[in-house]
Structure 1
């Protein structure tokens, strides 16, 4: 800091020498304005959802999970009594063996007729008839093979596995129930929701949707890369993870003048659950 006596001495020196001096003293740094934080209501929704539904008629013999349990893709969930399907597969496999044996017999007969024809012993009609019988036997073998594969698939479908990883709902049916075609068309057995990551669907008002970026007026989706998204829980506490915009609606609600913005958040502890009302916060990302 420059004292008053030193300043006075400098002024006298300047007056004697006739030289102009400019003394620049440090100025206080100007504070940058705080980043604007936009807030709007949101609701938690599952990022992915899958239904477990019966594929065939059958007697439900076992349920291998409890409501709210975390299941992994491929886990066995439901088992149906397999006896009838096992018998159907056995019949289909027996029919396949018979058809393949008939095909081999038809091929032997065809080759014999072919040899006789080359030696001018057999007639042309006999040769053509043997060729047709061979083709018919081959078609029947293909049909029996397809039926055996269908029976094998039906047997596999007596066990239902988890199509995705997530939290499973309660079973909508009890052990011992017989599933019919009508029941299959009208109901599902259980629902699995993926909770990590999870989505928050926010309803952004028009005034908050349009943002100024790079001197131009842009939509919230267009400026999403420059913004970071946070959550305020119903308790008033901040959610510890940040999110990113993954989807937006193509229209505004005429009644509320809001549009949906979907933000994806990590949810490793499954703290967020579908249906929870939260507050979305959006601010310019700090570099």
Structure 2
């Protein structure tokens, strides 16, 4: 029985040891390759930013009282000086009348005190009254004068409170929603006063963006080489695009940069002022900010689509003499129009890189390369 089993397995064992078995060879993969091109380009960088209002005012009452009426529409444009909210003015009108009456009283006392002092002066010169009596009359005049000043100040305060009962827009802008409606009591005149609405102007508008440490150092080196202006130079211009368009259709002028990098993010905050006359841009929108870095200079360019990603690094597949490729990490610069990426280090114009099928490439794998032009927006795949 054991011998029969061995005889049945023998053909299989002999097949495994067959020296004539053919080895399947890997077929070369077709791939397009191209030389990097050298061109004079205007170096730019693109940053992520956000629009922010130049001003923002929380409209708060300066006096307390019941809301009598609201004179603005939510979400509508208001102008500086427009009446926004009116607090019931009757208590303040009464306070003004009371302060005015008080002033008239103390003014009458002041006049009487001055007359008494004048009579006392004649009498003291004739030795008809004691000197002490004269001093009392003189003191009464001074006290009456002080009472007049206090009454005038109280009247001024009462008039101010009456004025503050009519709340006007301190700036021009877009009004927010009405937070407190007529009939409600509002507390005013302190830091915790109720917010009635918020006014935010849209013209002009700020765009804040962050520049990383490496770009700050790069710009600083350009400055010390005389290839870029510093803080004292002409205000730099930037171009801005919003999220629904690839076109940088808005213009801004840098008018502020922080004096130190944020230690938590290693970035420098920069601010650009955008005219926004038609008020198309709204605070809070994201933006892509493109700014020029130095003067035009000759740089090497490759298709951005020909570069791979390895975490935060970029690499290209460089063609070797044996028609295989090696992965080469490169330093990249700004993206130019048409999809060409600036290469600052890692390649030469004598080398060729793969520009198609880069997701399928592996080091050492045989290729069948065909050379094409390194042109932007190519349809080569």
Q: TM-score, structure 2 length as denominator?
A: 0.62
The aligned runs of 1:1-287 (5 Å cut-off) are 33-180=40-187, 185=192, 187-210=194-217, 211=219, 212-213=222-223, 215=225, 222=231, 225=234, 227-254=236-263, 256-283=265-292
Distance 1:252 1:184, change over 3 A: closer
> 2:165 and 2:130 mapped to 1: Cα distance?
54
**Residues 60 and 193, structure 2, Cα contact 8 Å, conserved in 1:** no
Q: After superposing the two structures, state which structure 1 stretch, 241-250 or 259-268, moved more.
A: 241-250
Describe the superposition over 1:26-51 as per-residue Cα deviations: whole angstroms up to 9, x where unpaired. Answer: xxxxx971211110100000011112
SS in 1 for 2:179: coil
Taking the aligned partners of 1:169 and 1:189, their CA distance within structure 2 comes to 9
Q: Map Cα deviations across residues 76-125 of structure 1 (whole Å, 9 max, x no partner).
A: 10101011111111111101000000100000000111122223333212
User: CA 1:95–1:182 in 2, change beyond 3 Å: closer, same or farther?
Assistant: closer
The structural deviation recorded for 1:242 is 2.1
Higher alpha-carbon deviation: 184-193 or 105-114: 184-193
Measured in 2, the distance between the counterparts of 1:226 and 1:178 equals 49
The answer as to whether partners of 1:224 and 1:244 remain within 8 angstroms in 2 is: no
Q: Please report how far the alpha carbon of residue 191 of structure 1 lies from its aligned counterpart in structure 2 after TM superposition.
A: 1.1
Secondary structure of 1:225's aligned partner? coil
Mapped contact 1:55–1:184 kept (Cα < 8 A): no
Query: Secondary structure of 1:151's partner?
Result: helix
Verify the 8 A CA contact 1:227 1:285 in the aligned structure 2: no
1:226 offset after TM fit, Å?
6.7
- TM-score w.r.t. the length of structure 1 is 0.81
CA distance, structure 2, for counterparts of residue 83 and residue 189 of structure 1:
20
Structure with the higher helix share, 1 or 2: 1
Question: Residues of 2 paired with 1:59 and 1:272: CA distance?
Answer: 36
- After alignment, is 179-188 or 65-74 more displaced? 179-188
- 1: CA distance, partners of 2:227 / 2:257: 17
Q: Contact 1:53 / 1:184 at 8 angstroms: preserved in 2?
A: no
SS of corresponding position for 2:199: strand
222-231 or 238-247, which deviates more: 222-231
Gaps of 5+ in 1: 1-30
SS at match of 1:56: coil
The structure that has the greater radius of gyration is 2
CA distance in 1, matches of 2:106, 2:137: 16
Unaligned runs of 5+ in 2: 1-37, 297-381
Q: Residues 182 and 193 from structure 1, CA distance in 2 versus in 1: closer, same or farther, beyond 3 angstroms?
A: closer
Task: Give the distance between the partners of 1:166 and 1:91, measured in 2 at CA.
Answer: 38
Mean CA deviation greater in 256-265 or 277-286? 277-286
Cα deviation 1:110-143 (Å, max 9, x = unaligned): 0111122223333212211110111111111111
